[in-house]
Structures are given as C-alpha cells and as structure tokens.
Amino acid sequence: MKPRPSKSAAIAAVAIAVVVVLAATSLAIVPAGHRGVVTLFGKVQDQVFDEGIHVKNPFKTVYNIEVRTKKIQVEADSASKDLQSVSTTIALNYHPAPDAVNKLYQEVGLDYSSRIIDPAIQESVKSAAAQFTAEELITKRPEVKAEITNQLRERLQAKHLMVDDFSIVNFDFSEQFNAAIEAKQTAEQNALKAERDLERVKLEAQQKIEQAKAEAESLRIQRLEINQNMLQLRWIEKWDGKTPQYWGGASPFIGLN
C-alpha cells in the first residue's frame, strides 16, 4: 500500500500554490504602445502603468489601453450656409492621451470611438459647413479644414483624446448643385475665351493700322522721290547743253568755255 501523504506536505503544497498565484497576480505586463489602467475592486486608481513589467497589489486589476495613432474614415451629412446638402468624407488620425487613459476609462470606457469620436465628427462638420456657402466649401477648402480641425480638437481633448491629423477626403453635393457649378464653369470659360478673342481682334486691328501707316509712309516717300526725279528730268529736257556760268547762289563759278 502507498503511504498516505502527511498533513504537513499537503499544507506545504497549498502554500506553494498560493505563493504561485500571488506571484502571478502581483505582476502586470503592459505591451508596447499601451498604457495600463489600474483598478482596485472596480475603482479606477490615479496610477497609470507605462510599458513594461510592473509589480502590483494582487487585488488590483490592470486594463491595457492602446495609445498608438488610430485612423478612421467616416461620412458626415450637413448643410451649407446657402442651404445646400453636403455629404463630406473625412479621415481622422487620433490617439488617447497616454497620461489620462485612466480618466478616459473612468468617464467613457473602451468604446470611445462610437460614443465620443463619431458624434464629435458629425457635430464639427455640421457646425463648420454652416459657416460657408457650398461654393466656398470648395474654393476655401483649407479654411474649412482648419475650422473642423479646431472644433474636433476642442471636443475630443475634453474627453482625453488627441487629434493627430485631419483631412477632407471629398465633398459630395446634390446633382442640381453639380449641374449649376458645371454651367458656371462653362460660362466662365466662354467669357474668358470671348475676352481672349476680343484681345486678339484688337491686336490684329492695331497691327493692320500700323501696317497701313507703314504703307502710307512708304507711298509718301515714293511720291517724294518721283517728284524729285521728275523735276530733274524736266530740267534736263529744258537744258540747252551749255554749262552754266554760275552755279548756286552768290558764289561765282569760273566757266569752262
């Protein structure tokens, strides 16, 4: 028959098991890119664990929350200042504030994307779009982006979430507005073409005027030359072949006879 284990051996085994359990529950491992939220009997503590291994009270629980940058892309419907319907596609990069993950966990919980970020995006886009006409949303896109970004930062920072980057992917308007924009662009292009054509006509007309002036000047010079040649010809026709005794005005010229 096998010997029965002694009572002391059983107690030792239980003690070892308890020590192992306590040792395991006294260590907390926080992965890279995370922060540890510490709770004691369900109550969130002020203490926040950084990355690495930490020794803790066995009765404390640690929840790891990722603080690396995350990206979401959503659609937001709104109305412009001139009451045009606008559907905006936006992309947001954000991360939880590392030193305030305990407050985020306590006030919001882990489902902060649907509870905080999505509503903040919708409200920020609607508020910003109402400050611009539909055309300005296109022509003043940097200003629109800055306005939405500022509103998002204000709303999210209050809930311990930080905006890393924000971009407007696309604006989508109604078919009627798109048709009106296309018609306006066509009209502007036609007006620009007409203006260029007018400038071209003016330039061609000015060139013709200058050309006519040049031709008139050329004819004047030709007429002057013709008149001078005719005078010389008439003089030759009337000349009797004798060399004049005097040339010019008052200065006498010795005759050749």
Residues contacting residue 70 through CB under 8 Å, at least 6 positions apart: 93, 94, 95, 113
* pLDDT tens for each residue of 175-215: 777 677 667 766 767 777 777 877 888 888 888 888 888 88
Query: Tokens 């260029």 label which residue?
Result: 196
User: For the residues 55-78, what does the mean pLDDT come to?
Assistant: 92
Set out the domains of the chain in order of their start, with CATH numbers: 14-66 (no CATH), 70-173 (3.30.479.30)
Quick check: 80 and 129 in contact, CB under 8 A?
Answer: yes
Q: Confidence band (pLDDT; 50, 70, 90) for 229? A: low
Paired sense of beta strands 85-96 and 52-55, if any: unpaired
Pick the range with the lowest mean pLDDT from 19-33, 110-124, 142-156: 19-33
Calpha distance 30→50 (Å, rounded): 7
Quick check: 22 and 29 in contact, CB under 8 A?
Answer: no
Paired sense of beta strands 27-30 and 34-40, if any: unpaired
Query: Tokens 């004047």 label which residue?
Result: 220
The DSSP call for residue 142 is H
Residue 112's nearest CA partner among 72, 145, 76, 75 is: 72
Q: Confidence band (pLDDT; 50, 70, 90) for 237? A: low
